Amino acid sequence: MSRNHRVFDQFKPYFITMTINSWVKLLLDPKIMEIVIDSIRYCQANKGLEIYAYCLMPDHIHMVCRSSCEETLSSIVRDFKKFTSNEIMEYLTGQKTVEAINLLNLFRKGIRDKSNSPKFSIWKRGFNPIELSSTKFIDQKIDYIHANPVKAGLVKSEIDYLYSSARDMEGIDGEIKVVVTFGRWKTYR
């Protein structure tokens, strides 16, 4: 990992991206989206994850976030990916469709762990953290995050996308609580 893609100060906000392997649009499945949202909420309530902006796209997640406690941002992301991977694989294993079987085969690796269970990988390695050192840079990343669904043709307006904090900016409660700071935001929504 290059120096630019490491978390050096846990208490500063970072722009992060978590991507599904092969850019598979897993988050179009409502159950998988629910797994991801519930896990993010857990990380907020129990691991000190503070989210200032987010967008859950069909094949990747963007956030402006930080750790608010001793738990590092890297460990929060690691635990989130591990937990959601296990839950998603369990869900897909229970589905007996050709699509689910193909996805299982795609995400399985050709190696086994110590318990002889097959290993799998839902998420691409890393999360490309970029430290946000100024209000201007934070605003730029938040605008980028919120424009994602419009650029992808999923909605016509940023606030129409259910899985984005753009709604919170307009006073509409989103799926995930966000911390409102940096000039635009003042409190949890």
The string of pLDDT tens digits covering residues 91-150 is: 999 998 999 999 988 888 755 556 656 678 899 999 999 999 888 899 999 999 999 999
Long-range CB contacts for residues 126-129, cutoff 8 Å, separation at least 24: 126/1, 126/5, 127/16, 127/17, 127/18, 127/77, 128/5, 128/16, 128/17, 129/5, 129/6, 129/7, 129/14, 129/15, 129/16, 129/73, 129/74
Q: Angle at the Cα of 20 (from 16 to 23), degrees rounded to 5? A: 110
pLDDT of 55 reads: 98
Q: Which fold has domain 3-73+123-169?
A: Alpha-Beta Plaits (3.30.70)
Question: Tens digits of per-residue pLDDT, 29-40?
Answer: 999 999 999 999
Give the percent of the chain with pLDDT over 70.
85
Is 96 or 163 the better-scoring residue by pLDDT? 163
Burial letters 118-154, b for 16+ CB under 10 A, else e: eebbbbbebbbbbebeeeeebbebbeebbebbbeeeb
Report the pLDDT value the prediction gives residue 181, as an integer from 0 to 100. 57
Helices 73-94 and 98-107 cross at an angle (nearest 10°) of: 140
